[in-house]
């Protein structure tokens, strides 16, 4: 047993343990100390290792929407289905259309909806609100053609989806049927809760979270940190997934609590055995697969009916 295997030996779920061991071979735990070019090279290799083939029924087309590069996923027989606009994770500094290609394709196939992945601009070259502006441009372009839209994303992408829901409400923008936020970073208080208890969680540390916040440079603005908002009324229904072994865990519960207090339908699926980025382990881990299936069901329920699947 080498040092990497020893590091994760105590994890309860064997699939997550194998996922973290495999990932560590491509993406070092101290990646944020490397140059941005090196970080992106690590991440690209990491994503490529776990990437699966698209389902046979899914067709894709790379398009420009609102001047932003996107990838449009459609399932055969569901070409007129509602649309999910999906924002990839990567700490606002990593990722693109290929990094989450298989995730988007499988959501498209499983939920029988259209998915539009957004290749938003990355920090540090383009700090806040560049990524948000790109998302807003795509949302407006999609809304000009489609009436049924949900927003979704993982990690930093979940942040962008939540921020756009706020912006769309404030600007009287396109109506939204829902938001699906997968282990999102929403700007929670880093001196308490899971930021402390899971400060050294496998896959993402509190130090990493602080680094990404600092690079994004949106601190304190509710469109960069949705938990800084003061009014949550009128937002679309929300389905969130919180990974138990993740400093971002409590952000999900804080956000849902505020939505519910404002009269918005909201639900958190808590995953005590899972880690940040577990979407990539959905073909390795039983609880990760079960969570991904629940995410897909939530996407379908919100997109098709505007209601949570609970």
Residue 1 has pLDDT above 80, yes or no: no
Residue 32 has pLDDT above 60, yes or no: yes
Looking at the domain that runs over 23-305, which CATH code has it been given?
Answer: 3.40.50.1820
Helix (H) or strand (E) holding 179: strand 178-182
Q: In the chain, what are the helix, strand and coil shares in percent, each to the nearest 5? A: 40, 20, 40
Average pLDDT over residues 113-140: 98
| Residues known to be catalytic | 155, 246, 276
Q: ∠294-159-262 over CA atoms, to 5°? A: 80
Rounded CA gap, 85 and 100, in Å? Answer: 13
pLDDT of residue 284: 98
- Nearest Cα neighbor of 134 from 117, 121, 115, 153 is 121
40 DSSP β-pair partners: none
For 125-152, what is the mean pLDDT? 98
Q: Note if the pTM is more than 0.75.
A: yes
Q: What is the pLDDT of residue 258?
A: 98
pLDDT at residue 255 is higher than 80: yes
pLDDT tens digits, residue range 53-108? 999 999 999 999 999 999 999 999 998 999 999 999 999 999 999 999 999 999 99
Q: What is the mean pLDDT of residues 152-175?
A: 98
103 to 78, 87, 126, 144, 163: CA distances (angstroms): 18, 11, 25, 26, 21
The predicted-structure confidence for 171-196, as pLDDT tens digits, reads as follows 999 999 999 999 999 999 999 999 99
> What per-residue confidence (pLDDT) applies to 29?
86
- Predicted local confidence at residue 161, as pLDDT: 98
What residue spans define the domains of the chain?
A: 23-305
The residues, any chain, with a CB within 8 Å of residue 9's CB and separated by 6 or more, are: 1, 17
ω before 124 within 30° of 0 (cis)?
yes
Find the Cα–Cα–Cα–Cα dihedral 7, 195, 270, 268, rounded to 10°: -150
Residues written for the chain = 310
């Amino acid at each position: 047993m080498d040092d990497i295997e020893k590091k994760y030996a105590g994890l309860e779920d064997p699939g997550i343990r194998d996922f973290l061991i495999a990932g560590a071979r491509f993406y070092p735990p101290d990646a944020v100390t490397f140059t941005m070019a090196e970080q992106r090279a690590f991440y690209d290799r990491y994503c490529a290792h776990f990437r699966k083939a698209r389902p046979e029924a899914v067709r894709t087309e790379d398009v420009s929407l609102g001047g932003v590069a996107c990838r449009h996923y459609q399932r055969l027989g569901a070409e007129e289905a509602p649309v999910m606009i999906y924002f990839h994770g990567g700490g606002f500094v990593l990722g693109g259309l290929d990094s989450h290609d298989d995730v988007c394709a499988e959501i498209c196939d499983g939920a029988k909806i259209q998915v539009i992945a957004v290749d938003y601009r990355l920090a540090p070259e383009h700090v806040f609100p560049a990524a948000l502006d790109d998302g807003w441009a795509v949302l407006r372009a999609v809304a000009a053609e489609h009436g049924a839209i949900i927003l979704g994303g993982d990690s930093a992408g979940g942040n962008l989806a939540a921020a756009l829901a706020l912006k769309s409400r404030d600007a009287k923008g396109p109506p939204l049927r829902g938001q699906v936020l997968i282990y999102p970073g929403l700007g929670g208080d880093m001196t308490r809760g899971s930021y402390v208890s899971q400060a050294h969680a496998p896959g993402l540390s509190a130090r990493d979270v602080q680094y990404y916040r600092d690079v994004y440079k949106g601190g304190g603005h509710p469109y960069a940190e949705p938990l800084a908002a003061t009014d949550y009324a009128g937002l679309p229904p929300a389905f969130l997934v919180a990974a138990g072994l993740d400093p971002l865990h409590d952000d999900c519960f804080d956000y849902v609590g505020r939505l519910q207090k404002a009269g918005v339908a909201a639900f958190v699926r808590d995953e005590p055995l899972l880690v940040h980025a577990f979407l990539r382990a959905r073909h390795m881990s039983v609880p990760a697969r079960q969570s991904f299936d629940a995410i897909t069901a939530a996407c379908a329920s919100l997109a098709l009916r505007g209601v949570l699947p609970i």
